[in-house]
Amino acid sequence: MPRLGTINPMPVPMQAQLTKTFLSHFAANPLITFAPGRINLIGEHTDYQEGFVFPAAVKQGIWVAIQKNESPICRLVSADFGQEFSFDLNSLAPKKGHWANYIMGMCALMRQSGYEVKGFDMVLAGNIPVGSGLSSSAALSVSVGTAISAIFDFGIPKKNLALYAQKSEHLYAGVNCGIMDPYASAFGVEGKALLLDCRSKTHREIPVGLGDYSLILVNSKVKHSLADSAYNERREACEESVRLLKTDFPEINTLRDLSLSELEMVRAILPDALFPKAKHVITECQRVLQSAKALQKGNLAYFGSLLNASHSSLSQDFEVSCPELDFLSHTAQAKPEVLGVRMMGGGFGGCTLNLVETKSIEKFIAQIQIAYEKQFFKSPEFIPVEISEGARVI
């Protein structure tokens, strides 16, 4: 994940600031693009089983200022870090762990697809809190792709930009991510979540009317070391489950193809070590679909109960939670002003997503902070989120 963001909200005149920085480095007026981070309302660890997820773009994101420079050299500036970097389009050489890899990856994939990317100057800045799980890497890649496509008049479709961003992370950043993050950043719509089918890579826009409630993330400020190895183990468990189930369910390709009515048959076939993991994916896919229906009907109470059920499944069946996330979830669930809460993201740290009565948010923050500090001797971070527009030229 690139560390391009700051922890403070970006002031309103971001375009003016970015233009000023660009002029000071490159003496030219830039084109400016923005791509947002995302939240996932529900649907965790379903993407790699071709299941359903329910992301939405947020207001925090990454800004990119760009202009052609009539050379094969790309000159980059990270305004947040005060760092500069250059690379030659004719001899791309990724640097392990460097934020410029995301830009090089997007350039390489566009060129492989036949787009004649030439040299450019670029300034980047963001306001995605570090470690928040809002996917700064996808926002960076999609904003860069949007900028390059616009400045060279390529007209690259949003879905292609999302696919390039995903593949760029695989090849240039060494992260085997799914399609959800860049897809949500590219296609986000203000006030709507995307019911995304990870098999067909198509989506439906679902209005999210929260009425007297708001969404707020609570960042546990922890990330446990077993996250990467546990992710691989869970993924392998799902794939092994599919192999074992194929005899009795020859028509399935992934766990997504199984219904709730088939759970008992699945339980009878799978060993005890595998069944809970399969159960999570099967039930979580259904919770995503049920959540979309609940929001379409304006049934926030039912949606909140699905968030609670998702956390329970992730914690007990899929076993990707941790003491901090469970504490934040259980503490919030006990409060009458909270309709629902769950861990968000891969697990073993990061944030919980909370649906909280708007007028009670200050009380919620104060009580959660006191309880968490008392239990873990560290302060959580609170990040209000609003469902916002996707990538665009400013």
Enumerate the known binding-site residues: 44-47, 78, 131-137, 169, 231
Catalytic residue flag (residue 80): no
CB distance 119 to 366 below 8 Å = no
Q: Name the active-site residue from 80, 121, 181, 257.
A: 181
Helix (H, G, I), strand (E, B) or coil at 195: strand
Q: CA-to-CA distance for 37 and 299, rounded, in angstroms?
A: 26
CB distance 198 to 214 below 8 Å = no
Q: CA-to-CA distance for 273 and 188, rounded, in angstroms?
A: 38
**Which of 64, 55, 117, 116 is closest to 87 using CA atoms?**
117
Q: Which two tokens stand for residue 190?
A: 């203000």
Burial of 161 (0-12, 13-18, 19+ CB in 10 A): buried
Report the first-to-last Cα separation within the chain, whole angstroms: 24
Q: CA-to-CA distance for 214 and 226, rounded, in angstroms?
A: 32
Annotated binding site for Mg(2+): 137, 169
The position carrying tokens 């390059």 is 148
Which secondary-structure segment (H or E) carries 180?
helix 180-187
Annotated binding site for substrate: 44-47, 231
Catalytic residues, by residue number, are 181
